[in-house]
Structure 1
């Protein structure tokens, strides 16, 4: 999955063109996340991510059948371009979303609906002279690149599952547009909108058959993880206030 905010210049790996490409694994690729205030996660990550971040949903257009889609995201900051989790060259949370862990690699579809491993050509972790080789002297993928391929392939499978889960939530009208308002200690108002969260009234009034369907499909657990994660908004607010106070000193 290619994210334009992260993968600035994705290029398909080619065993001929990139025969000598290496990656300096000791360098952190997460510098590229410094301006990200939210990022996509898969449904398989909810249980871990809900302990660290608010999990919200964004509208994601429609699928080929015209059905509404949504995308779950972990929230890292309260303002556009603000990442309160990645600071001073470190990711200050125990869980890092899978797509960020795979960066600067990703998997992307080709015009003939195949998938290829890509890399972000703008990432400074790549080199022609030093680091972990991606291809061996015969032009075959190294064990490291094979591990990368397996990881991004697994992510792509989970992305498809997440898309289906989001479509079902939208079909059942389980999500609604929300707004978060707060006032900072100095009196500055802070508002966050443009996201969706669970419609708790709708959830409470589901029929027994609907509850059973959600339980069997795993969607009920996802909604509970999402609801539990909302308490992390106050934690982000605290970090935001501390950061602003530090900048004024």
Structure 2
């Protein structure tokens, strides 16, 4: 018997149930934990958004693929073989691999885009990451952002910029018609076949058939390394099959 999974990108940011503008009065008592991060909130996701800046560092840990969407493909890390079930979140909420996706490290902060205005720092009020009792407060007694909050906001801004670079990277690949649809099948010993449809990968054959001008465009945009990191990451697909599930 085989089991089939069809991809279905979410319309809203993954994990963000109730993002609201960060407010120094409303969120003054919230604290960022100083211990080991708990990624239990990510246990129900088999894909995590990925950034082009991460491809090289993460390629030895997780498959990097692309999911089609109404606005174009999205880069993702595959972290599970079944819909709604991660294989990389352990029972205690820790991450099973050395590299933790930036998307998880940014949560519960995010930048909201409002037309005609600067991006606004927001926070998911329904998160399980922040605490009222443990860690460093987001704001000091004077109402100013703490060092922990400034670091989180800095990282959120870096993530936003990297997201724009990732969008440009994908737009370039799309314009050169370099994506192909793939189906992934894996099978553990004595278990049913896991089949995942609806994914995209860079077509290596098309890459090497590009004209000199188009290939040089990829070189000049400095995206050849991420493309090859994507190719290398696909060797990690079967490794997910053997990951002990929480």
Aligned to 1:227: 231
How do 1:86-125 residues align onto structure 2 when only pairs under 5 Å count? Answer: 86-89=89-92, 90-110=94-114, 112-125=116-129
2:32–2:130 Cα contact (<8 Å) kept: yes
TM-score by length of 2: 0.88
1:147-203 C-alpha deviation (Å, 9 max, x unpaired): 111110011001011101101101101111111123442252221111100112211
Aligned to 1:44: 53
Structure 1 window deviating more from structure 2 (37-46 vs 22-31): it is 22-31
Structure 1 residue aligned with 2:74, among 71, 75, 78?
A: 71
Higher relative CO (Cα under 8 Å, sequence separation at least 6) belongs to 2
Structure 2 residue aligned with 1:85, among 88, 92, 117?
A: 88
2:184–2:195 Cα contact (<8 Å) kept: yes
1:104-145 C-alpha deviation (Å, 9 max, x unpaired): 222222354321222221223334454311111221111211
When you count helix as a share of all residues, which structure comes out higher? 1
Classify the secondary structure of the residue corresponding to 2:228. Answer: helix
Classify the secondary structure of the residue corresponding to 1:39. Answer: strand
Aligned to 1:205: 209
Question: Counterparts of 2:180 and 2:64 in 1: how far apart (Å)?
Answer: 14
Q: Which runs of 5+ in 1 are unaligned?
A: 63-68
**4+ runs deviating over 4 angstroms:** none
> RMSD between aligned alpha carbons?
2.0
TM-score by length of 1: 0.87
**Change in CA separation of 1:23 and 1:164 when aligned onto 2, cut-off 3 Å:** same
**Change in CA separation of 1:95 and 1:130 when aligned onto 2, cut-off 3 Å:** closer
Question: Counterparts of 2:23 and 2:116 in 1: how far apart (Å)?
Answer: 17
Structure 2 residue aligned with 1:181, among 181, 185, 188?
A: 185
**Change in CA separation of 1:3 and 1:85 when aligned onto 2, cut-off 3 Å:** farther
Question: Counterparts of 2:191 and 2:53 in 1: how far apart (Å)?
Answer: 39
Q: Which runs of 5+ in 2 are unaligned?
A: 1-10
Structure 1 window deviating more from structure 2 (51-60 vs 127-136): it is 127-136
Deviation at 1:23, TM superposition (A): 2.9
State the aligned residue count: 235
Question: Counterparts of 1:196 and 1:103 in 2: how far apart (Å)?
Answer: 26
Question: Counterparts of 2:133 and 2:204 in 1: how far apart (Å)?
Answer: 56
